[in-house]
Structure 1
């Protein structure tokens, strides 16, 4: 088909050519346009699993942010939510394009079993899927960087993590814009990519796809390594550091997916039977984007487990000791005080080491180390004396607290 000059064909001749096979069958093979062998069942299963995981991840994140933490008002989460919504919209667009390929021409269908006419719609869908992919992944990685900036960088601090993260964000934005422009200018006019008989000029779009796959693999590896140093510099025990490090190592799945996607893209670009080889590229791209949503959303899971009591029940079922933490550290008989004292305990909110960085009030905001510096010693302390007075007139107990010493 490559030797045919479509510009010189009459409409009748063009229709006849389009009804023929997209590739001449090899010796001993006959084109099967009615029910060619395929792996559509595998394709639907892979796509369904990926979509289900993405929806579950977003539901977990929404529950953690909106119900448990109630911090959607914070600026960083508004930005993050905007990026995630746009990424999910692109993921939906990508899913629509790839699912539309199932009925025609199908996945793992040999090119000689596909009519040339079918490649027109297929080419358009593949083009759209490439644009959605080129936008979705950068948005996910920007979301990850914004999330991690809120976790590992104190407000007003300008350390190495801050600058590396913002450089990566800038690179992702620039590459996304460049990739979309390149994909749409690979052929002039753009529709010549799928309506190949239209007069115009094209460059090899496979080169753009290969460069994009290599770039995404490189950036995935950087995102994987970036938080590890910050995690192991935290002021907490090595077991907790190891646990946090494992959670932030889920990006390794994205790196593996990106590596296979790059290999599949190179194979697809060099293959003569191109339609048959497009399946692995689509599947590994699905996996790569799904891993991006996992990396964004999974850090919320420990918070949900702690707040919902699932973690406590799990530890108890495994035979581990479960301790109860209260606001005033009551012990013995003091734990059996009045109902009003119990109401004080109910208002207590447990704050773990990760969230101490985000907790701010008038009395605590200056206890942090100065911007740009990490003090090793005690910067400032506050001593608070709590006294208890019993009011026998109404049977209630009252507590009074006042600072007695500032250092």
Structure 2
């Protein structure tokens, strides 16, 4: 165990005590990804659980994925201390490999659990948004179910393969024990290919529905961008595949494991971000941020908030309020009472009171079977507001 873990190149003297590393970069990448993922989790829970008062399978799956994500964080931070990131293997002794091999096993199992949970949650959320009526007859729904099936089956298989790579199990990290092991590189390459394939399919899957919506092309582009943020995960997965190929064909594995872990961390973080993005419109609306920005820019609220019968799209279930929901002011909305609500108040509109003349008109019949059922006088007045 005291021997060098790898023969150094000619003319290179191993440095076992203080080898050069890039642990500062590892601290930044791991902490940044953890912060973004945590923020996305809380934004999603705020929009769904706090604002809409609902908890669905997507939120439960996201929280489970976040728990498994902490497993990757534990292993990622542990690798900083032993042996360090971007440390050449010839600067390590054989005994120094025991701890990192154990941490890599934890990272791989946690990673294999995070992505199926996240992608299942994302696809279920998209099915609620895009699929209406008999969902079993839509190509989009079946495409989502196919990807979910692939992710779940491969996730379980990958965890099993990682834990059965050596017999006995302890020999996975205690490599000096007599054991029988198989080459894990094929499993790693297969895992990377599966994630790249499913990521790119998820990018393309909703685009056909989006571009078939009855709305102008500007809004189609905006929605396409929102649901196209999966491109970030696809790029991360593709780069991770390239680094996995490099890792599989090098003897200096402890050095090239660092970029592999970085891109895996980025891929998981993108998953949390994708699941959070459809909730952002409702969060912005609830916070009143858009109204304050429009006031700062001098944009009229009445023109920007004008409803449309053709351009209504629901993002993550944040559509128009139904009749049994309560408004921000705490008053129920129904078919006969609405409130023109601006930032600092507005003009309340109540039921039209029936007058005697209107009742008489209601019973009068005109020629050709026509009759006047109600007359309404509307008086519009405005006052200057500071």
With the shorter chain as reference, the TM-score category is 0.7 to 0.9
Q: Which residue is equivalent to 2:85?
A: 107
Residue 359 (structure 1) shift:
6.9
Distance in structure 1 (CA, Å) of the matches to 2:217 and 2:97: 56
Match of 1:46 among 10, 29, 38: 29
Q: What are the ranges of 5 or more consecutive residues in structure 1 without an aligned counterpart?
A: 1-17, 329-350, 363-382, 392-403
Contact 1:154–1:357 (CA<8 Å) still a contact in 2? no
- The Cα RMSD (Å) is 2.6
- Give the TM-score normalised by the residue count of structure 1: 0.75
Seen in structure 2, the aligned counterparts of structure 1 residues 95 and 384 have a Cα distance that, compared at 3 Å, is closer
Q: Does 1:27 align with 2:10?
A: yes
Q: Return 186-195 or 266-275, whichever deviates more.
A: 186-195
Match of 1:142 among 106, 117, 120: 120
Q: Does 1:58 align with 2:41?
A: yes
Match of 2:141 among 157, 162, 166: 162
Q: Which residue is equivalent to 1:117?
A: 95
Distance in structure 1 (CA, Å) of the matches to 2:24 and 2:76: 13
Task: After superposition, give the CA deviation of every residue in 1:280-338 in whole Å (9 maximum; x if it has no partner).
Answer: 0000001000001000011111111122111122233234332279999xxxxxxxxxx
Q: Which residue is equivalent to 2:182?
A: 203
Q: Which residue is equivalent to 2:292?
A: 313
Q: Which residue is equivalent to 2:65?
A: 87
Distance in structure 1 (CA, Å) of the matches to 2:237 and 2:44: 24
Matches within 5 A, 1:288-367: 288-323=267-302, 352-354=312-314
Distance in structure 1 (CA, Å) of the matches to 2:320 and 2:352: 31
Q: Does 1:191 align with 2:151?
A: no
Q: Return 119-128 or 319-328, whichever deviates more.
A: 319-328
Distance in structure 2 (CA, Å) of the matches to 1:255 and 1:157: 27
Seen in structure 2, the aligned counterparts of structure 1 residues 387 and 49 have a Cα distance that, compared at 3 Å, is closer
Alignment size in residue pairs = 328
Distance in structure 2 (CA, Å) of the matches to 1:85 and 1:201: 37
Seen in structure 2, the aligned counterparts of structure 1 residues 124 and 387 have a Cα distance that, compared at 3 Å, is closer
Q: What are the ranges of 5 or more consecutive residues in structure 2 without an aligned counterpart?
A: 325-334, 338-349, 356-372, 374-386
